Amino acid sequence: RGHTLAWHSQGPTWLTSDGAKNTNNFSRKQLLDILHNHIKNVVTHWKGKVAEWDVANEVLSDNQQTIYSNPNGYDLRPSVWATGIGEDFLDSAFVWAHKYDPDAVLILNDYGVENKGWGKSEALYNLAMRLRNSGIPIHGVGLQAHMDAGNVSAKAIDANITRFKDAGFECHITELDLGIDDASTANLQKQALDFYSLMHVAMKHDNCKSLMIWGLSDDLTWRTGRRPLLFDSNLSRKPAYWAVHAALRENADAEETGNNELQITNYKKTEA
């Protein structure tokens, strides 16, 4: 996976001082040229080696208001691209990514969009539909899934992936990590069960072709102190590791027997 081509964050200071401002007052044409040049160089360099790109990342505002008066609406995050170019920076980014690697899968990626019914989730669906209905080459969406254990609704995420499937989109889980307050037995078990449930949800859907866990061990996570990954800081396997292991094993057994109606049950820690 390639992450990411158009993002408000981590841009060079000559472009933007804070991700939102057009610091040096580039014209719309200049900003389009900058974005075009970046996408052309990066995608061409990795053509044939990167199968899937997060073309645009975190473009939706956390505060979705338009959707309450327009069920097909959405609000974009203020960014150097949206402010200096306009919404069609998205259209251009996808068109250019497709132009320079026609075989790559192109994804619109965001956080806080996991559960069907959340305002930002509805906005993601609306934006994806708008792009496709405009003839833009978009293949799917990414649900980052930076969440906290105990606050995960596998049912709502299942429904979200289902509606994207019904609309003809791939729907990938792209940055999964599940935070906990401390490493108590209860919290570790809660975290394990949520990882287990989400693995089963992802494997249930043929339009969910990948699930990426956002890091290896708890000392290397961007979520400092939240212990969100499968290995602890000593690289010891946590209950969450065994939960993922069990879900994968159960899915393999179901495929072998032809029983595709997977049931989420209590996993058993095993190295079998």
58 is catalytic: yes
CA distance 264 to 261: 10
Q: Per-residue DSSP letters for 139-172?
A: -EEEE--EEETT---HHHHHHHHHHHHHTT-EEE
The one-letter amino acid code at 204 reads K
Task: Work out the number of other CB atoms within 10 angstroms of the CB of residue 94.
Answer: 26
- Of the candidates 173, 65, 167, the one whose C-alpha atom is nearest the C-alpha of residue 125 is 167
175 is catalytic: yes
Residue of 58, 114, 122, 250 marked catalytic: 58
Kindly report the length of the chain.
Answer: 272
The one-letter amino acid code at 19 reads G
Residue of 52, 122, 175, 250 marked catalytic: 175
- Of the candidates 247, 217, 242, the one whose C-alpha atom is nearest the C-alpha of residue 232 is 217
| Residues catalogued as catalytic | 58, 175
